[in-house]
A and B are shown apart, each in its own frame.
Chain A
Amino acid sequence: MNEDLLRFIACGSVDDGKSTLIGRLLVDADVVPDDRRAAAPDLAGLLDGLQAEREQGITIDVGYRYFSTPRRRFIVADTPGHEQYTRNMATGASTADLAVILVDATKGLLPQTLRHSAIVALMGIRRIVLAVNKMDLAGYREDRFAAIVDGYATMAGELGLSDVTAIPVSALHGDNVMRSSAAMPWYRGPTLLGHLETVPAAPASDLPFRLAVQWINRDAGFRGYAGTVLGGSVRPGDEVVVLPSGVRAQVARIVTYEGDLDRATAGQAVTLTLDPEVDVGRGDVIAAAGAPPHLSDQFAAHIVWLGDAPMLPGRPYLLRLGTATTTAMVSGLKHRLDIASGSQRPAKQLEPNDIGLANLSLDRALPFDTYDDNRETGGFILIDRLSNATVGAGMIRFPLRRAANLAWQDFTVDKTARAAIKGHRPAVLWFTGLSGAGKSAIADGVEKRLTALGHHTYLLDGDNVRHGLNRDLGFTDADRVENIRRVIETAHLMADAGLIVLVSFISPFRAERRLARERLADDAFLEIFVDTPIEVCERRDPKGLYHKARVGELRNFTGIDSAYEPPEAPDLHLRTLEMTIDDEVERIIEALQRRGVFD
């Protein structure tokens, strides 16, 4: 453990004086170069790195500062206090050992104080400094300080934060930052810097050994597994297990540029060789055989939602855990934290900056620890599959073993056998397009042709399914995602039964259509874009829905106040204004023949 270094995060609300406080720490620690000090208008100006920050006088993006005193070195993450920048606070908190939470003595505890404390607690930071700032403006009064400290103690207790050190300071004048304040003789505790210099950096690590494999090192007969030790320690001869495969081996060597090591501990970047040489790839975890991590495709986790668009249960995201990446979805959202009251509220989706507790379902089982046991092997990020943006941060709370308890039952008669009776291969025709585009009419025409040819079909129609299977769902984005997920599973079952399935759904989102393609990849899958301009659909308005949407009687209507994301590469693109229904049906039949569904 590197006790010489303390990584901390400073968080506070807008105008609490956070940047001033860090500027004061830098100046008092005498680490600010003269030319940079001369260029800054004030203490806070020492930190603003972006032009917009200087212009608006606020912190926009997390910034890192480096300073040292004769006793210790520090990396401080300066994070924005403004609500919409919560994602940056989570970023700064994820690598911090301690959090300095600022409160303005003249304003007291604010909703942001609770939000920051909640994030800090969720991110696993156990040591808190409550810096009550602007004591000069509060007359340096002890009762004011005591009232804030009392109020915070209640808040901290509810969040499970037990290690809180409260210090009254004036960042502007330097009281109790490095120098003890003559104006507050009633305070006899440490100064802020004094406390930061001496507080233990992190609890000693006695965790079982973990290494996430980053890179397979092959060089002239050498085969090693490069990665960083993410927990515990390892020695040559140790019994290890490779997960998810579960293969066991012994550590043969710990290879580094300086020569082999007889021990490697958490934080070290090493290369292991194993005996025997088993199959290991990037994304695997090498762990202590006697204390392996959990292995499951489902777990419960807290999620801090960082994306600009809401998190929708059922929508697939990429999940990055350790060095492994897989597809995952929220299978159930248990609650959302209501920051203002600290209570748990039911929720159907997570908005930007929301924090929620969710069950996640992964495409394959991955090894992990709970976040409380090991931040490195229990923290994950979620990535949007279309934009590739990092949209969520997750902390695993406990594994779910439902999938593990349900063995997959194999039966003798399979999909191929069922389809063979019907003289075709199963297929899914996925019609997407605006309401009124002509999906159902084309699907109806195709089904008639297929039936005449002696093929066994079934048509899943958006409106009809909503009368039964999906009658509990509305038209919010979250419900639309769940609507499609159920239809995908239904189509999957029908294809498994050997049918040619026609799905006629608006299916407005690329992410869900991509999910359908992947889920149904074993069968012939045709994404058919029924492309009719919205003006034409609106003019047709066969069900009178466009009219209702225009006059405000119908909300979340695709094309009006809910988005339709046109396919980028559909298997068939039917521009309906240029074709007759017969042409369209013919093209689809030809496509099925080309794909070998039937002759």
Chain B
Amino acid sequence: MPVSNSHLQALEAEAIHALREAAAVFRKPVILYSIGKDSSVLLHLALKAFYPAKPPFALLHVDTTWKFREMIAFRDRRMKELGLPLTVHVNQDGLARGIGPLSHGAAVHTDIMKTEALKQALDLHGFDAAIGGARRDEEPSRAKERIFSLRSASHCWDPRGQRPELWRLYNGRLNPGESIRVFPLSNWTELDIWTYIAREKIPVVPLYFAAGRMVVQRNGMLILRDDERLTLLPKELPELLWVRFRTLGCYPLTGAIESRADTVAAIIDELGRSRTSERQGRAIDHGESSMERKKVEGYF
């Protein structure tokens, strides 16, 4: 069924409640801004939650240096428009070692340039709470997440030893070194996100909308060659296809889907008929229980 206004209202109120709790109970909370649609919604909700004041959060982007160029351009434009200070963190050690998805594979790249980088940034700035846009319906291990989810001093998630979370009573109390990941969008679905983006007219990266793009078939995925670092293999021939992205990550690891949906309304319509899962185009999820393992190690 289409997402009703009252349902969006309830989801919005629940997320705002979680954001206000995070602001009230943590010493130094940060929004993990990943530029995607969920982050865009999260940021919008933060603006609402503390109006007329500005959100009392720092903003952090963990840059793997392999994001789509359009993502970075969008990020810089949005931050300027909103007048919010953004901290960008790159794992300099990984960069110096030349870690990348093409040379080292998805697993090593994600581990070093995302998970390690995130842990570095949290430690460096002493953030005791990281607020992210992850949703339970994205992926089976995320269905097990709390809204306030405890991480050990080494940023590890213990899925079998989670704090029970009852009513709206989130337990944000920490022992030294521990931190909390806050997921205000836990109960939102992909369809809720897009319906809300439509209702609130939230800007998102243009890559979500279908357009004619030069893509190449690789490992069963349609890869957009975003810069020269991706060298074509002998038999690979880029072709012009109408494609869009359902999720955004590192460009060599993020498959496009063939689509004509070039407006938010068309995307909502397309989702209603989709037979595949949202993260099906993400190379990093595949392999045995890989999202759970990454999360246990500290991935968002």
Name B127-150 residues within 8 Å CB distance of A.
Answer: 136-137, 139-144
B13 touches A268 (CB 8 A): yes
For the complex, give the distance between the alpha carbons of A62 and B49 in Å: 28
| Contact between chains at B171 and A320 (CB < 8 Å) | yes
Contact present for B6 and A2 (CB under 8 Å): yes
Question: Contacts A380-B169, A381-B166 hold; do A61 and B137 have CB atoms under 8 A apart?
Answer: no
Cross-chain contact A217 with B140 (CB below 8 angstroms): no
CB-defined contacts of B201 to chain A, threshold 8 Å: none
- List residues of chain A with CB within 8 A of the CB of B136: 63-64, 66
User: B171 to A376, Cβ gap below 8 A?
Assistant: no
Q: B276–A33 contact, CB under 8 A?
A: yes
A66 with B292: CB separation less than 8 A: no
Let me know if B4 and A61 touch, CB within 8 A. no
Q: Does B7 interact with chain A (Cβ within 8 Å)?
A: yes
- Nearest A residue (CB) for B10: A2
Q: Quick one: closest B residue to A32, CB to CB? A: B277
The reply on A282 being an interface residue by CB < 8 A is yes
CB-based contact A255/B51 at 8 Å: yes
Surface stretch bound by B, among A234-242, A338-346, A383-391, A522-530: A383-391
Docked-complex contact B168 and A219, CB < 8 angstroms: no
Identify which of residues 38-85 in chain A touch chain B, using a CB-to-CB cut-off of 8 Å.
Answer: 47-52, 54, 60-66, 68-73, 75
A275–chain B nearest beta-carbon distance, Å = 18
Task: Specify which chain B residues have a CB less than 8 angstroms from the CB of A68 in the assembled complex.
Answer: 1
CB atoms of B144 and A393 under 8 A apart: no
Q: How far is the CB of B146 from chain A (nearest CB, A)?
A: 9
Q: Is A228 an interface residue (CB 8 A)?
A: yes
Nearest CB of chain B from residue A585's CB, rounded to whole Å: 35
**Beta-carbon contact of B164 and A35 below 8 Å:** no
Contact indicator A61/B162 (Cβ below 8 Å): yes
Instruction: Check A269 against B20 for contact (C-beta < 8 Å).
Output: yes
* Residues B49 and A269 in contact, CB atoms below 8 Å apart: yes
- Residue A186 at the B interface, CB < 8 A? no
Distance in Å from the Cβ of B17 to the closest Cβ of chain A? 5
Residues of A within 8 A of B115 (CB): none
Choose among B3, B52, B140, B144 the residue that contacts A62 (Cβ–Cβ < 8 A).
B144
* A215 CB–B CB distance under 8 Å: yes
Asked if A271 is at the interface (CB within 8 A of a chain B CB), the reply is yes
Given contacts A88-B164, A256-B48, A381-B169, contact A66 B189 (CB under 8 A): yes
Q: What chain A residues lie within 8 Å of B288 (beta carbons)?
A: 51
Alpha-carbon separation in the docked complex, A306 to B171 (Å): 14
Interface contact B1-A73, CB-CB below 8 Å: yes
Q: Are A217 and B53 in contact (CB under 8 A)?
A: yes
CA distance A389 to B137 in the complex (A): 26
Counting contact residues on chain A (CB < 8 A from B), the size range is 35 or more
Of all chain B residues, the one with the shortest Cβ separation from A388 is B173
A388 adjacent to B171 (CB under 8 Å):
yes
**Interfacial chain B residues near A52, Cβ < 8 Å:** 160
Q: Which of A89-97, A458-466, A542-550, A558-566 contacts B (4 or more CB under 8 A)?
A: A89-97
Which B residues from 158 to 180 make CB contacts under 8 A with A? Answer: 159-160, 162-169, 171, 173-175, 178
C-alpha gap A595/B159 in the complex (Å): 47
* Cα(A380)–Cα(B168), bound, Å: 10
Q: For the complex, what is the distance from the CA of A267 to the CA of B251, rounded to whole Å? A: 40
Residue among B10, B142, B173 making CB contact with A383, cutoff 8 Å:
B173
Chain A facing B: main interface SS: mixed
Q: Report the separation of the CA atoms of residues A214 and B19 in the bound assembly, to the nearest whole angstrom.
A: 10
Q: Is B24 in the interface zone, CB < 8 Å from A?
A: yes
B142 touches A49 (CB 8 A): yes
Which of B23, B48, B144, B169 is in CB contact (< 8 Å) with A320? B169
Residues on A with beta carbons closer than 8 Å to the beta carbon of B274 = 33
B185: min CB distance to chain A, Å = 12
Give Cα A2–Cα B192 distance, bound, in whole angstroms.
15
Q: In angstroms, how far is the closest chain B Cβ from the Cβ of A76? A: 10
Q: What's the least CB distance linking A383 to chain B, in Å?
A: 6
* Known A-B contacts A222-B52, A228-B17, A269-B12; A34 and B162 likewise in contact (beta carbons under 8 Å): no
| Chain B stretch 15-65: residues in CB contact (< 8 A) with chain A | 16-17, 20-21, 23-24, 47-54
Contact A63 B24 (CB under 8 A): no
Binary CB contact string for chain A from 225 to 261 against chain B (1 if under 8 A, 0 otherwise): 0111000000000000000000000000001110000
Residues 446 to 476 of chain A near chain B (Cβ within 8 Å): none
B165/A390 in contact, CB under 8 A: yes
- Residue B289 at the A interface, CB < 8 A? yes
- Complex CA–CA separation, A62 to B144 (angstroms): 6
Structural contact, A91 and B144, CB atoms closer than 8 A: no
Check if A393 sits within 8 Å of B166, measured CB to CB: yes
Q: Closest chain B residue to A381 by CB distance?
A: B169
Considering the chains assembled together, what is the distance between the CA atoms of A379 and B165 in angstroms? 12
Smallest distance from the beta carbon of A198 to chain B beta carbons, Å? 14
A35 adjacent to B166 (CB under 8 Å): no
Complex CA gap A35/B53 in Å reads 44
Q: Decide: A389 and B20 in contact? CB cutoff 8 A.
A: no
Q: How far is the CA of A481 from the CA of B293 in the complex (A)?
A: 41
Residue pair B52, A87 in contact (C-beta under 8 Å):
no
Task: Provide 20 A-B residue pairs closer than 8 Å at the C-beta atoms, listed in order of the A residue.
Answer: A2-B7, A5-B7, A33-B276, A50-B141, A64-B136, A69-B1, A87-B164, A88-B164, A91-B166, A214-B20, A219-B53, A222-B53, A228-B13, A228-B168, A255-B52, A256-B48, A257-B48, A380-B169, A381-B166, A383-B171
- Kindly list the 4 A-B residue pairs having the minimum CB-CB distance in the complex, ordered from nearest: A49-B140, A33-B277, A219-B53, A269-B16
Given contacts A35-B277, A381-B169, 17 further A-B contacts (CB under 8 A): A33-B280, A34-B275, A50-B144, A68-B1, A72-B1, A73-B7, A90-B164, A91-B164, A215-B23, A267-B9, A269-B49, A318-B173, A323-B24, A375-B167, A379-B166, A379-B167, A388-B171
